[in-house]
């Protein structure tokens, strides 16, 4: 099963962007994410759409 969401650290690794940039995109609303407890997870489909 393909993962629907990944951690910010995994997002940084997969995209080549810095952590600050990832959080900036999340705060701007350009990158969809969800909060699960204390963790922030980035929606994979949103990341793929952003990078295309």
CB 32 within 8 A of CB 46: yes
Nearest to 13 by CA among 52, 49, 47: 47
- Tokens linked to 28: 């701007």
Q: What does the alpha-carbon distance between residue 44 and residue 48 come to, in Å, rounded to a whole number?
A: 6
Question: Model-level pTM?
Answer: 0.92
**Per-residue confidence band for 5, with pLDDT thresholds at 50, 70 and 90:** very high
- Tokens linked to 5: 């969401």
Q: Given this model, what pLDDT does residue 29 score?
A: 96
- Tokens linked to 39: 């963790």
9-41: per-residue pLDDT in tens?
A: 999 999 999 999 999 999 999 999 999 999 999
Q: Give Cα 6 to chain centroid, integer Å.
A: 7
Q: Given this model, what pLDDT does residue 42 score?
A: 98
């Amino acid at each position: 099963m393909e993962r629907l969401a990944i951690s910010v650290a995994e997002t940084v690794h997969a995209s080549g962007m810095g952590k600050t940039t990832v959080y900036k995109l999340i705060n701007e609303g350009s990158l969809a994410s969800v909060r699960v407890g204390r963790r922030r997870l980035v929606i994979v489909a949103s990341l793929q759409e952003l990078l295309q």
